[in-house]
Structure 1
Amino acid sequence: MLKKFLAVSLLGSTLAFVGCQSLPQLPGTTANLNQLQNKTWVATKIGNAALITNPSERNIASLQFDEATKRVTGSDGCNRLMGSFDAGKNSISFSQVATTRMACLNNSNVDQLFNKALAQVTNYKVEGKTLSLLDAQGTTMIQFESAIQPR
């Protein structure tokens, strides 16, 4: 009797464990995440201030999210930046973000504004070609447009 109980318990535990690991993702939970990754996003606004950049500039404020490595790279408008990110359906967090320390003249402190805004980001929203990085209250901290990549 004890052997049957043990066998049934073991079989039940195994099925429950395997079943939990193979649950499909709910529809629509990854659509926002898929649109975020593997693109170059060029900053167009920090807070309410529009960013006007010359396409020939060297370090345009931008971000790229690599799905495979969970790494974020880009520029704050002056310095190169790199780090890790973790994103869900609407939430996003950055960790181990590091930047180079170059002297940038005449950039209107875009790099400082960009980094300060990025530190407050907790959520994101992708609508078409627009990415908005939001704070916990839903305020847009940085807005980006998807860049067209040359072929």
Structure 2
Amino acid sequence: MKRIIQVSAMLLVALLLAGCASTARTVDEPLVNTYWKLTHLSDAPVTVVEQRREAHFVLHIEDQRVMGSTGCNRMTGSYRLEGDALSFEQLASTRRACADGMQTEQAFLDALGRVAEWRIEGQQLTLVDADGEVLARLQAVHLT
């Protein structure tokens, strides 16, 4: 009898722990009004050029504007969001020439122009094209 009680108690504890583990999940960041830092173009990691602003964007919900940086120049434009579908429109950037980072800038702008869908897992945003190919990965940054 004592053995049955011990086994039952251990099973109860195991079930409680399993229940707690299944409810502890990472909360996904919101797509809009979040600072998204570019970390990868396709599968290639992106490095920030020293003493330059990192490539990033913020989707402002009020007027459906995108604002950010290419790593060299500031950029702005509009976006269209319908469910998992996302597209960037009328992207424009300043025209400052930078000694380093111009290839990343062009690749980032090209990727944004081809975005068809988005996915968020935790603090990572993945942008994909119409064929499902990964164009870019971005990381949510909390500003203090």
Report the TM-score, using the length of structure 1 for normalisation.
0.72
2:13 matched residue in structure 1: none
1:104 matched residue in structure 2: 98
SS at match of 1:119: helix
Counterpart Cα distance in 1 of 2:35 and 2:47: 17
Q: Which among 19, 39, 60 is matched to residue 54 of structure 2?
A: 60
After superposition, residues 1-150 of structure 1 pair within 5 angstroms as 35-53=30-48, 57-107=51-101, 109-150=103-144
Counterpart Cα distance in 2 of 1:119 and 1:93: 7
1:115 Cα deviation (Å)? 1.1
- What RMSD in Å do the two structures reach over aligned CA positions? 1.7
Q: Is the CA contact (8 Å cut-off) linking 2:75 and 2:93 kept in structure 1? A: yes
Q: Is the CA contact (8 Å cut-off) linking 1:124 and 1:134 kept in structure 2? A: yes
Counterpart Cα distance in 1 of 2:107 and 2:67: 17
1:108 Cα deviation (Å)? 5.8
Structure 2: unaligned runs, 5 residues or longer: 1-27
Counterpart Cα distance in 2 of 1:109 and 1:126: 26
Amino acid in structure 2 at the alignment position of 1:121:
V
Structure 1: unaligned runs, 5 residues or longer: 1-31
SS at match of 2:112: helix
Q: Is the CA contact (8 Å cut-off) linking 2:87 and 2:114 kept in structure 1? A: no
1:89 Cα deviation (Å)? 1.5
Amino acid in structure 1 at the alignment position of 2:62:
A
Counterpart Cα distance in 1 of 2:108 and 2:70: 6
Cα deviation per residue 1:12-33 (whole Å; 9 max; x = unaligned)? xxxxxxxxxxxxxxxxxxxx8x
